[in-house]
Amino acid sequence: MDKMWAGRFHKALDSTADDFNSSIHFDSRMYKEDISGSVVHAMMLARQGIITEDEKDKIVSGLTSILEDIESGKLGIDMAAEDIHMFVESELTKRIGDAGKKLHTARSRNDQVALDIRMYLLSECEEIGGLIKKLLGAIRDIASEHKNDIMPGYTHLQRAQPITFAHHVLAYGMMFSRDLDRIKDAVKRMLASCPIGSCALAGTTYNTDRAFEAERLGFTGISLNSIDGVSDRDFCVELLDAFALIMMHLSRFSEEIVLWSSWEFKFIELDDSYTTGSSIMPQKKNPDMAELVRGKTGRVYGDLMALLTTLKGLPLAYNKDMQEDKEAVFDAVDTVKKCLEVFIPMIATMKVLPDNMRLAAGKGFINATDLADYLVKKGMPFRTAYKKVGEIVAYCIENGLILENMPLEKYKEFDSAFDADLYNEISLDTCVSKRISAGGTGPDSVEAQIRYITELLND
Ligand code: ARG
């Protein structure tokens, strides 16, 4: 394909250099955004009298036919083109002749690509946001089903205090609700500065109407500085950061799924359709999907780091380095979507094993804090009660007892404040249902969390 810019050169670009320079292999996925941006650009040029109505009509119908033909498979994207912007423009000129050569008036590929990637991210963010909502729905449903199922809560991966499974999974619900918010927030900022009309870097001598273009393309404002308009990739960084956090949350959840599905825990069993076998060990049922989600988290962190590193030394305005933004952005988008698409049905179909969770919670001493609180409610200062319960725990361990089965007479030897009501106070159900503080594992708080997610989903 002849280069549009060939006029200034005496020799053709070396073919290896041409290949190295070209971005069509990856930016071709933005064909739709590129075409819709161009349609609005042509409309603006005609409104402002920069091209005629007739030229605009030719351009718009030419672009529309290109879009239809790409979508139907009739037109293949020519991988010899330098990038998607060049491809669309040359195909247009092929179809409509001279009018096509007017489309690039008062714009540059620099503002064009800055526009395209914003529009691409807008539609991907809608999709990713929809997937996060689906995930929140799945978490809400699991929580609603397991409001009364008690499991050990952990710190340092040591049994700490009893909680409900609902409360545990809702913790992830809160994290993903913030992820959703982060995407919305970054998109809001991205849409506030439509770059088109910034041209190469300095604006243009034509009497353009940037506000018209921005509004037509769904933006809320225009970039107020043309150099910033073409140089800014903050929105890519912000969104990749939001995606990295989604992955971090998915990865922590995956880690727990891997643990819970092991024979050592057996708190859940993953559905056959989301597990794999071994090529040698006939008994194996491996949580590969959860492991892969955990593993792919590194990729998305890498994409974020690659982008930040690409941008850090760039002088203003556009530099070709910026072409590297797309592969990082595309890979992060693809990875997050793929991970969510498999993670959601994986957790929605997993079998929760509440009996095993309860058994693990009942193995002793998870209610030690509650025993100390019992003494506190009888008038003992917390630090004194805490020390006394520590001594009781040590005594139980030495004598093969747990708090639930140590006889009352023995309790009374430790302190006369102990009474028969202590056993009810330290039962797992009481420990959970009496944790009435806001945000705790108690039933009112769990209901409030479920309501919060439901309202967010109805929003
Ligand atoms: N393919 C280029 C990119 O993605 C488009 C912009 C090219 N601009 C330029 N001045 N060479 O960055």
- pLDDT (tens digit, 9 = 90+) per residue, 159-176? 999 999 999 999 999 999
**Distance from the CA of 111 to the center of ligand 1, in angstroms?**
9
Nearest atom (ligand 1) to Cα of 83:
1
CB of 176 closer than 6 A to ligand 1?
no
Give the model's pLDDT for residue 358. 96
1 within domain boundaries: no
**What is the best residue among 84, 320, 322, 324 to mutate for testing ligand 1's pocket, by most ligand atoms within 8 Å of CB?**
320
Q: Are 318 and 233 in contact (CB under 8 A)?
A: no
Give the model's pLDDT for residue 294. 98
**235 and 255 part of one domain:** yes
State which of 84, 105, 126 marks the end of a domain: 105
Give the model's pLDDT for residue 283. 86
CATH of the domain at 96: 1.10.275.10
**Distance from the CA of 103 to the center of ligand 1, in angstroms?**
17
**Distance from the CA of 344 to the center of ligand 1, in angstroms?**
37
State how far the Cα of 274 lies from the Cα of 38, in Å rounded to an integer.
Answer: 44
**For residue 61, what are its two tokens?**
């119908």
Give the model's pLDDT for residue 7. 84
Give the model's pLDDT for residue 31. 98
CB of 83 closer than 6 A to ligand 1?
yes
**Distance from the CA of 266 to the center of ligand 1, in angstroms?**
53
Q: Are 41 and 196 in contact (CB under 8 A)?
A: yes
Give the model's pLDDT for residue 348. 98
* pLDDT band at residue 459 using 50, 70 and 90 as cut-offs: confident
**91 and 135 part of one domain:** no
6 within domain boundaries: no
Q: What is the DSSP string of 167-196?
A: HHHHHHHHHHHHHHHHHHHHHHHHHT-B-T
7 within domain boundaries: no
CB of 251 closer than 6 A to ligand 1?
no
Mean pLDDT value of segment 347-370: 95
8 within domain boundaries: no
Angle between helical axes of 53-72 and 84-96 (0-180°, round to 10):
120
CATH of the domain at 386: 1.10.40.30
Q: Are 58 and 96 in contact (CB under 8 A)?
A: yes
Q: Are 186 and 198 in contact (CB under 8 A)?
A: no
Give the model's pLDDT for residue 27. 98
Ligand 1 atom 3: the closest Cα is on which residue? 323
**335 and 376 part of one domain:** no
**290 and 324 part of one domain:** yes
Nearest atom (ligand 1) to Cα of 326:
4
Inform me whether the pLDDT recorded for 278 exceeds 90.
Answer: no
Give the model's pLDDT for residue 328. 98
State how far the Cα of 117 lies from the Cα of 85, in Å rounded to an integer.
Answer: 12
State how far the Cα of 127 lies from the Cα of 120, in Å rounded to an integer.
Answer: 11
Ligand 1 atom 2: the closest Cα is on which residue? 323
5 within domain boundaries: no
Q: What is the DSSP string of 354-392?
A: HHHHHHHHTSSSTTHHHHHHHHHHTT--HHHHHHHHHHH
CB of 111 closer than 6 A to ligand 1?
no
* pLDDT band at residue 1 using 50, 70 and 90 as cut-offs: low
CB of 34 closer than 6 A to ligand 1?
no
Q: So which residues are the catalytic ones?
A: 156, 278
CB of 374 closer than 6 A to ligand 1?
no
* pLDDT band at residue 243 using 50, 70 and 90 as cut-offs: very high
**152 and 246 part of one domain:** yes
CATH of the domain at 223: 1.20.200.10
State which of 55, 85, 105 marks the end of a domain: 105
Residue ranges making up the domain that contains 194: 110-359
Nearest atom (ligand 1) to Cα of 322:
12
2 within domain boundaries: no
Q: How many domains does the chain have?
A: 3
Mean pLDDT value of segment 240-246: 98
CB of 177 closer than 6 A to ligand 1?
no
Give the model's pLDDT for residue 279. 85
147 within domain boundaries: yes
**207 and 343 part of one domain:** yes
**282 and 394 part of one domain:** no
- Across the chain, mean pLDDT equals 96
Q: Are 356 and 267 in contact (CB under 8 A)?
A: yes
For 21-60, write each residue's pLDDT tens digit: 999 999 999 999 999 999 999 999 999 999 999 999 999 9
**Distance from the CA of 182 to the center of ligand 1, in angstroms?**
29
120 within domain boundaries: yes
Residue 79 makes CB contacts below 8 A (sequence gap 6+) with 22, 24, 25, 28
**237 and 117 part of one domain:** yes
**What is the best residue among 110, 111, 325 to mutate for testing ligand 1's pocket, by most ligand atoms within 8 Å of CB?**
110
**383 and 330 part of one domain:** no
CB of 441 closer than 6 A to ligand 1?
no
Q: Which of 1-5, 268-272, 273-277 is predicted least confidently?
A: 1-5
Nearest atom (ligand 1) to Cα of 320:
12
Pairing of strands 150-155, 158-164: antiparallel
What percent of the chain has pLDDT above 70?
100
Residue 324 makes CB contacts below 8 A (sequence gap 6+) with 306, 307, 310
Inform me whether the pLDDT recorded for 260 exceeds 80.
Answer: yes
State how far the Cα of 216 lies from the Cα of 103, in Å rounded to an integer.
Answer: 17
Inform me whether the pLDDT recorded for 2 exceeds 90.
Answer: no
For 167-216, write each residue's pLDDT tens digit: 999 999 999 999 999 999 999 999 999 999 999 999 999 999 999 999 99
Mean pLDDT value of segment 426-443: 94
**384 and 331 part of one domain:** no
Give the model's pLDDT for residue 17. 93
Give the amino acid at 389: V
State how far the Cα of 291 lies from the Cα of 335, in Å rounded to an integer.
Answer: 14
For 130-139, write each residue's pLDDT tens digit: 999 999 999 9
**What is the best residue among 323, 325, 327 to mutate for testing ligand 1's pocket, by most ligand atoms within 8 Å of CB?**
323
Q: Tell which residue, 213, 200, 221, 203, has the closest CA to residue 47.
A: 213
**343 and 368 part of one domain:** no
E-strand ranges in 86-232 read: 150-155, 158-164
State which of 332, 359, 386 marks the end of a domain: 359
**152 and 114 part of one domain:** yes
CB of 323 closer than 6 A to ligand 1?
yes
Mean pLDDT value of segment 388-408: 95
Inform me whether the pLDDT recorded for 287 exceeds 80.
Answer: yes
State how far the Cα of 288 lies from the Cα of 211, in Å rounded to an integer.
Answer: 50
CB of 231 closer than 6 A to ligand 1?
no
